[in-house]
Amino acid sequence: MLKHALVRTILFSRILLQLGVWIRNFAILLYVTDVTNNDPLFVSLISVAEFAPIFLFSIIGGTFADRWPSKRTMIGCDLLSALSMFAVLGGLVYGSWHVLLFATLVSSIMSQFSQPSAMKLFKQHIPADGLQGVMAMFQSMMAVFMVIGPVLGAFIYQQYGIVSSLVLAGICFVGSGLILFRLPRDPASGGKVTQGNFMTELRDGLRYVGRRPALRTLGWTFCLSGLAVGLTQPLMLFLAVENLGQDKSFLQWLLMANGAAMLVGGGVVVTLAKKLPPQLLLAAGLIVSAVGVLGLGWSRSTGLTLSLEALNGFLLPCIHIGINTLILKHTEQAFIGRVGGVLTPLFMGSMVIGMSSAGFLKEFLSLGGVFSISALLFALGGLTMVPMLREKKAAAAAGGEV
């Protein structure tokens, strides 16, 4: 896939973008904890600024991404993110650290317009049998940054401070946007903004998802897996403290095991991308993750817990790559942005519900009980793929392809 100029261009651009995101995120997090003396309210506001736009702008950004030329949209989003970095420096000069939340908010909003535009370009320029390989490659890139991003971001802030960190993040965003000028020119039909009614197109996107059985199935998968992730994510610390009797700092080793295995898993999926259907990847990832989560909830062995964390990390690329490939394969190019804008909030909303319930359920049941519920939800998510697997098998038997 790296032989394709468009894939190389977007990959190198996203590498710079991810560098900027991780440098910015950790610089802001560490700076806010320093100036507020670890105030949990202000620290939580950073997460709100980062995730709230996913709810508010996902469907809006997806709809506009379907209307606007993809190349110009992506370049504009990267440059606006860079501008937000340099703009908040002025606020810091006058002693107002609150503007840092604005920088996070703007960049997060821009991503809701940029990401579906990139998906549109893949759908437009990459052959159908190559989409899964492209998704695997980008998942591997994300996994690399999940491992090195926190270390790199913290190091730069601790060595050079908040101003240098924000300047460097802004430079990364500018570089990402400049690289995107190498993308092919937007098609004549996509070179100007579509003039249709925005609300009509938004409703068309919702109806489109409702009419497509594969996308409806993915909607259920998103909801179930979002709930499952939400139930366990806030309780990871208790695996170290309660189940293993370790200090809370041991959590970093669990996360490192997960991230390193995710990197390996992404590489494996890249090599197998053309051999395994995305339905099978997604189903296997969810069902085996169910086994891993169940074991994590009840394990009292440090070695077993680390192994199960690695197993879950190894399979996470299967889930992400399977979902993204299925969305691209079952969605017309004109609806790529809106479909992503409908499905993403289903996952995020379900995850927030799960996170809100996790503490209560732990008190009412136990840590193992909550992880067992999460495992059941992962398994149910995997079972939603059964009809699509049967359809794939039937089509293969008939000499077709789904």
Per-residue pLDDT tens digits for 79-107? 998 998 888 887 777 767 778 888 888 88
- Mean pLDDT, the chain, as a whole number? 81
Sign, CA torsion 309/345/108/267: positive
Are residues 103 and 219 located together in one domain of the fold?
no
The H helix count followed by the E strand count for the chain is: 14, 0
Are residues 255 and 301 located together in one domain of the fold?
yes
What is the structure's pLDDT at 294?
94
Are residues 226 and 84 located together in one domain of the fold?
no
Are residues 72 and 130 located together in one domain of the fold?
yes
Which domain, by its residues, includes 71?
5-181
193 assigned to some structural domain: no
CATH of the domain at 296: 1.20.1250.20
CB–CB of 188/97 below 8 Å?
no
Contacts of 46 (CB under 8 A, 6+ apart): 28, 29, 32, 101, 104
d(CA 229, CA 268): 23
Are residues 81 and 131 located together in one domain of the fold?
yes
101 assigned to some structural domain: yes
Are residues 286 and 317 located together in one domain of the fold?
yes
d(CA 338, CA 336): 6
191 assigned to some structural domain: no
CB–CB of 91/99 below 8 Å?
yes
Q: Of the residues 181, 208, 234, which one is the last residue of a structural domain?
A: 181
189 assigned to some structural domain: no
375 assigned to some structural domain: yes
d(CA 190, CA 178): 20
Greater confidence (54 vs 273) lies with 54
Are residues 109 and 23 located together in one domain of the fold?
yes
Contacts of 7 (CB under 8 A, 6+ apart): 1, 126, 134, 137
d(CA 118, CA 200): 23
Tell me: the pLDDT tens digits for 139-187?
A: 778 777 877 887 788 889 889 998 899 999 999 999 999 999 998 887 7
Are residues 37 and 137 located together in one domain of the fold?
yes
Tell me: the pLDDT tens digits for 9-22?
A: 999 999 999 999 88
72 assigned to some structural domain: yes
Contacts of 236 (CB under 8 A, 6+ apart): 251, 254, 255
Alpha-carbon dihedral angle through residues 312, 315, 316, 319, given to the nearest 10 degrees: -130
Are residues 229 and 354 located together in one domain of the fold?
yes
d(CA 383, CA 197): 38
125 assigned to some structural domain: yes
Are residues 204 and 169 located together in one domain of the fold?
no
Q: Of the residues 123, 151, 181, which one is the last residue of a structural domain?
A: 181
Are residues 177 and 209 located together in one domain of the fold?
no
Structural domains counted in the chain: 2
Give the largest CA-CA distance in the chain. 69
Are residues 245 and 174 located together in one domain of the fold?
no
Q: Does the pLDDT of residue 316 top 50, yes or no?
A: yes
Total-model pTM? 0.71
